[in-house]
Amino acid sequence: MEQETASYVLAHYSHLLTLEEQLAKRHFASQIKIGNHSSNLQPLTRLYKRIGWITVDEGALDLVKLGNNAFILKVAERILTEHPDRVVLNVCEKCHKLARTPAARQCRHCGHNWH
């Protein structure tokens, strides 16, 4: 599976994530905001842990260890395997690339319009 397809699935079908996957996704976003764990960021890190944006859940941390790209690929493959009837890959009929959203009616790659 291509990274673009995996990102599309994760962006538009995040309601199909498991609890551990949701925690890991939130953890990744928080790591980006915090950056490196330097001494002046410790209060922010403690705050993020307290409100649940940085997780201590072992299952979620195992997913975090994969790295962001591998995590996205793994989750997208699981969603497509377990919920093929609920996922719509909106593909352009002309160039066969993914549209921006499941409801889009114009290709962002070639400009083809299917309104």
The pLDDT-based confidence of 37 (bands split at 50, 70, 90) is low
61-91: per-residue pLDDT in tens? Answer: 999 999 999 999 999 999 999 999 999 999 9
Per-residue H/E/C for 41-81: HHHHHHHHHHHCCCCCCHHHHHHHHCCHHHHHHHHHHHHHH
Domain count, the chain: 2
Residue 76, pLDDT score:
97
Instruction: Find the domain containing 43 and state its range.
Output: 3-82
Shared-domain flag, residues 46 and 67: yes
- Would you give the distance in Å from CA 69 to the centre of its chain? 9
Per the prediction, the chain carries an average pLDDT of 90
Percent of the chain whose pLDDT exceeds 70: 95
Check whether residue 96 and residue 76 sit in a common domain.
Answer: no
Which residues, at least 6 apart from 86, have a Cβ–Cβ distance to it below 8 Å? 13, 16
In this structure, what are the phi and psi dihedrals at residue 63, rounded to the nearest 5 degrees? -70, -35
Q: Does pLDDT of 111 surpass 70?
A: yes
Query: Do residue 94 and residue 59 come from a single domain?
Result: no
pTM value is 0.83
Distance of CA 7 to the CA centre of its chain: 6
Is the per-residue pLDDT at 40 higher than 90? no
